[in-house]
Amino acid sequence: MNAMLRETESAIVPLAVSGLVHCYEGSNALNGIDLALEPGSVLGLIGRNGAGKSTLIRAMLGLLEPLAGEARVFGEPALQLSDAAKARIAYVPQQPEALAWLTAQQMLDFVGRFYPRWDKAFVTNTLGRWRIQPNKLLAKLSPGERQRVDLIRALASQPELLVLDEPAAALDPVARRELLREVALRAGESGTTVLFSTHIVSDLERVASEVAFLHQGKLLMRCSVDETKERYARLWLPGKMSAAAPTQSLSRRRHDDGSLSLVVERDASGHWPEAASLPGARVDALGLEDLFVEIAE
Amino acid sequence: MNLRTVILAPWRASKPAAQGMALLLLALAVLGAIAVGMYSSKPAWWVGPALIIGIGEGFLWAFVMSSTVLLAIDARQLLVPGIRCSVIVGLLLYGLLSVAVPTVVLSLFGEHPGATGAIITLFCIGGFAFALLPRYLGTVMCLMPAALNALPPGIRMPGPADPDFLHVAVLAVAALLLMLVVCWRRLLHAASPYTSGWTQPMVMQFRYAGRRAAWNPWTGFGGGIHGVDSTQRIRRRPSWLQPVADLRDCGPGHPVRSLRIALGGLFMPLTMTAHLRQFAFVIVPSLLFVVLMTLQGVHRHGVAALLTAWHDGGLIMLIWFGAFGSMMLAFFCIGQVWQLWQKPNAELPLLALLPGLDGSAQVKRDLLHAILLQPMRVLALLLLVLLMLTASLHLSARASLFVLLGQLGSIGFMVAFTLTIIGGRPLGPWATGALAIFGCILINVSLFVPTLSDPGQMKLGGGTLPDLFVVGWVVLAVALPWLGRRGWRGLMQRPHPFLPN
């Protein structure tokens, strides 16, 4: 019976949204997003500034009320989470500003009292390792230090779902590496599900198992990081053949000489669109960064 | 450099809100000066109008003209040529106009152009110096007039109508000008001129004015007088003045106290030492002011007369001060709540995801307790003190009623606006502003006019004034419960209360 319960529990999707719609002052921030995270996966959310990444993350965790759609965390409505569900989540916002009037140590002591699995030893060790003065007020820390303290806060609660909004934005390269190592370790050893948004494609390649492209409030694509090179490519067609271009593509750009560039996807049987075999057509493999630029431009 | 650039320099350098406030005060000062000039029958009638216009212009120089130093600093940092020169010529031009125009107008009536010009020059330069001197010296400057008046008769400074005034004023103007030049140069050539704090000039605070979010009447109350947020405020405060949170008895078993810690500012439980420090910070300058005023009274009228005056006037001022303080406390609470519910990356996401704050309905009640309970206790205590003071002064029942209404109005404001903010149903900025100004005027006038009307018997003034008050209070008595109900319903409908507005 207990084994069955555990199985059912583990089968519950940590984070799932369907039909999410939200707008700010008339402009659409989220346009019908459907997304679910498998337990233990590391999903990197990538998109340009203003693509809606932070809004999506906040709606997913019930930190804002979307205009339409539903978000669920561990099977519960995100806007009405139980204490048990909350204890399994950790979230670090883009520019943490909370509790600026407390020292780093006070904030961690205060927050730690609410989490049943709070790891005090991790807090002490990491504060020392990251050279953060525990008795300094949070308001007086640099943005990078502040972000690191918030990361310690998130990781010390030993979450099953870790959500990070641009976690590396204010970190130096060394701190960024350490963070990514920690995230990979948590995902690999403890099976923590991780969702993180970023602009830094190399970070995605280093730790993410999956990547999702968000553009103008829409989820344009989602696939595993290893799969992207195989599955997507740039198809270049000379101007005289542009009429043969496939109707389905992730992006379409016409050049000054009339030629056409498209980001295309292999079909279910693993073939490129027919136009790729036309004389003069060219298929270029795309790295993750090139793919992002092609789609987002 | 052309004349247009020179004229526009101060207006481009300062914020529209500061300009509006300063110009409004100047306009009110001019009207006040005209009124005083028309109705004064004293031989030195010109002193009143000159002082009033001086105060108005002092504000203009403190809050608008001083911002030109920011423009000069930016120009120097960005290596933009010509702007510094335009700024200095502009200041000289406005300085000349500020002194010459009122002096000439007052001189048309044939009275002491030299002394009038000196008074106005002192206020303009004083206002400018207030903004450019380090903040602690600016505070000392505000106490200077009272301190000078408190000197014993043997070494008293000459008043504006005294024959020696002009000599002293010229010396003071020269000293202030010298100080301004030193400050100006120091600021312009500082290695990092944009730092702010108690040792930095007040003008550096103006850089942050209204930088966050759109205008809202609570911006100033939530973020200090210049609309800066809590992080910036803490960063600028010296270490000895930082509030230290008392983290005892917090955690999931103590939701209200935990929420108070998380809300910070006025709501946060402090350690005893922090309480004493904060208390001293408010009390010491107030006591200093009272001591100076007492000394001034003793020198002028003697101890017995001072005691009588204190009983007649001092207690009335205390009543007004207490009631005004209550209103400010209520407005600061609303301002802080407003600011907290504006920031999506601060305390709200942390609280929304913090386990242990069980059940949303209970959390909503705990949150209301955390926000309202402490300020309500202070307001209730103040109400008790005020009622005791009104009783000791044998104020009429109606005057006591207005004191009571004033306190209830402050409490009503705090409860209603807090509910609308955390309930996600805040009024628009203009409606909020209109209601806040209306309430502010009503509470103050209700307190002030009855006590002023007949200081001996403390009866209300006659005529239609009380009827107007009654209408005003009825409007407030309808508006605040309506707002509160609207906020309460919004709060109950929200899935959880930590959703930003």
Residue A134 belongs to some domain of the structure: no
- In which residue are the tokens 């009855």 written? B450
Q: Report pLDDT digits (tens) over B115-159.
A: 888 999 999 999 999 888 887 777 677 666 666 665 666 666 677
Residue A113 belongs to some domain of the structure: no
The pLDDT of residue B461 is 38
Per cent of chain B over pLDDT 90 is 18
Using CB atoms, pick whichever of A83, A91, A95 lies closest to residue B355.
A83
Residue A118 belongs to some domain of the structure: no
Nearest to B57 by CA among B29, B37, B93, B96: B29
Residue B354 and residue B362: Cα distance in Å, rounded?
Answer: 14
User: Does residue A19 share a domain with residue A73?
Assistant: yes
The pLDDT of residue B251 is 86
pLDDT at A2 over 50: no
Q: Using alpha carbons only, what angle is made at residue B449 by residues B446 and B453, rounded to the nearest 5 degrees? A: 145
Pairs of residues, one from chain A and one from chain B, whose beta carbons lie less than 8 Å apart = 111
Residue B32 and residue B426: Cα distance in Å, rounded?
Answer: 37
Q: Which residues of A touch B344 (CB under 8 A)?
A: 58, 63-64, 93
User: Does residue A168 share a domain with residue A22?
Assistant: yes
Nearest to B484 by CA among B429, B406, B408, B422: B422
Q: Which residues of B touch A115 (CB under 8 A)?
A: 355
Cβ–Cβ below 8 Å for B344 and A58 = yes
pLDDT at B415 over 90: yes
Cβ–Cβ below 8 Å for A101 and B268 = yes
- Within 10 angstroms of residue B97's Cβ, the number of other Cβ atoms is 11
User: Residues of B at the A interface (Cβ-Cβ below 8 Å)?
Assistant: 229-232, 234-235, 242-243, 245, 247, 250-252, 258, 261-262, 264-265, 268, 343-350, 352-358, 360, 494-496, 498-500
Average pLDDT value over all residues in chain B: 79
Residue A65 belongs to some domain of the structure: yes
Residue B416 and residue A272: Cα distance in Å, rounded?
Answer: 63
Q: Report pLDDT digits (tens) over A131-153.
A: 899 999 998 898 889 989 999 99
Give the mean pLDDT of B62-83: 88
* Cα of B33 vs its chain's centroid, Å: 23
| Encoded amino acid at A141, one letter | L
Q: What is the CATH number of the domain that holds A181?
A: 3.40.50.300
Give the mean pLDDT of A265-291: 84
- Nearest-CA distance from A102 to chain B in Å? 7
Residue A258 and residue A237: Cα distance in Å, rounded?
Answer: 9
Question: What backbone torsions phi and psi does residue A65 show, to the nearest 5 degrees?
Answer: -95, 110
The pLDDT of residue B262 is 92
- Nearest-CA distance from A30 to chain B in Å? 17
Residue A196 belongs to some domain of the structure: yes
Cβ–Cβ below 8 Å for B261 and A110 = yes
- Nearest-CA distance from B294 to chain A in Å? 38
The pLDDT of residue A125 is 92
User: Does residue A254 share a domain with residue A170?
Assistant: no
User: Does residue A276 share a domain with residue A163?
Assistant: no
For the ranges A7-11, B7-11, B336-340, the lowest mean pLDDT is seen at A7-11
The pLDDT of residue A229 is 78
Confidence tier at B444 by pLDDT (50, 70, 90):
confident
User: Does residue A166 share a domain with residue A58?
Assistant: yes
Using CB atoms, pick whichever of A61, A114, A139 lies closest to residue B354.
A114
Is ipTM > 0.90 here?
Answer: no
- For the record, the structure tokens of B33 come out as 């000066």
Residue B234 contacts residue A137 (beta carbons within 8 Å): yes
Positive or negative, the CA dihedral A158, A161, A162, A163 is negative
Select from A167, A194, A216 the last residue of a domain.
A216
The pLDDT of residue B149 is 63
Positive or negative, the CA dihedral A188, A193, A198, A201 is positive
Q: Report pLDDT digits (tens) over A16-38.
A: 999 999 988 778 888 888 999 98
For chain B, the domains span 3-208, 237-493
The pLDDT of residue A7 is 46
| Comparison of pLDDT for A288 and B56, the residue scoring more | B56
Give the mean pLDDT of B452-478: 62
Give the mean pLDDT of A48-63: 90
Q: Is A95 exposed, middle or buried (0-12, 13-18, 19+ CB in 10 A)?
A: middle
Residue A132 belongs to some domain of the structure: no
> What distance separates the 2 farthest-apart alpha carbons in chain A?
69
Local structure of B398: helix, strand or coil: helix
Confidence tier at B78 by pLDDT (50, 70, 90):
confident
User: Does residue A37 share a domain with residue A179?
Assistant: yes
Chain B touched by A236 (CB under 8 Å): no
The pLDDT of residue B292 is 67
Q: Mark out the alpha helices in B111-218 (DSSP H runs).
A: 113-132, 135-149, 165-188
The whole domain housing A203 covers 2-98+159-216
The pLDDT of residue B198 is 66
Out of B85-94, B206-215, B432-441, the most confident range is: B85-94
> Who contacts B30 (Cβ-Cβ below 8 Å, separation ≥6)?
B53, B56
Q: Report pLDDT digits (tens) over B268-326.
A: 898 888 878 777 776 776 677 667 666 666 666 666 666 666 655 566 666 777 777 88
User: Does residue A164 share a domain with residue A90?
Assistant: yes
Give the mean pLDDT of B245-273: 88
Residue A151 belongs to some domain of the structure: no
Cβ–Cβ below 8 Å for B345 and A64 = no
Select from A190, A216, A242 the last residue of a domain.
A216
Residue B157 and residue B173: Cα distance in Å, rounded?
Answer: 15
Chain B touched by A58 (CB under 8 Å): yes
Out of A52-56, A169-173, B441-445, the most confident range is: A52-56
> Who contacts A129 (Cβ-Cβ below 8 Å, separation ≥6)?
none
- Nearest-CA distance from B259 to chain A in Å? 11
pTM for the whole structure: 0.75
Residue B417 and residue B436: Cα distance in Å, rounded?
Answer: 10
Give the mean pLDDT of B425-429: 83
Domain count, chain A: 2
Q: 3-state DSSP: chain B helix, strand, coil percent, rounded to 5?
A: 75, 0, 25
User: Does residue A249 share a domain with residue A285?
Assistant: yes
> Who contacts B106 (Cβ-Cβ below 8 Å, separation ≥6)?
B46, B49, B50, B113, B116
pLDDT at A159 over 80: yes
Out of A267-281, B38-52, B250-264, B430-444, the most confident range is: B250-264
User: Does residue A73 share a domain with residue A28?
Assistant: yes
| Angle separating helix axes B83-107 and B3-13, nearest 10 degrees | 90
The pLDDT of residue A158 is 92
User: Does residue A289 share a domain with residue A165?
Assistant: no
Confidence tier at B465 by pLDDT (50, 70, 90):
low
- A97, A133, A135, best to mutate vs chain B, most B CBs in 10 Å: A97
Q: Which residues of B touch A94 (CB under 8 A)?
A: 345
User: Does residue A248 share a domain with residue A273?
Assistant: yes
| Comparison of pLDDT for A11 and B255, the residue scoring more | B255
Out of A227-231, B288-292, B369-373, the most confident range is: B369-373
- Within 10 angstroms of residue B278's Cβ, the number of other Cβ atoms is 15
Cβ–Cβ below 8 Å for A101 and B264 = yes
> What distance separates the 2 farthest-apart alpha carbons in chain B?
77
Residue B296 and residue B274: Cα distance in Å, rounded?
Answer: 33
Q: Which residues of A touch B361 (CB under 8 A)?
A: none
Residue A57 belongs to some domain of the structure: yes
Q: Report pLDDT digits (tens) over B147-202.
A: 666 566 666 667 777 778 888 888 989 998 998 999 888 888 887 777 766 677 88
| Encoded amino acid at B121, one letter | T
Q: Report pLDDT digits (tens) over B203-241.
A: 887 776 545 445 555 655 554 444 456 677 777 777 777
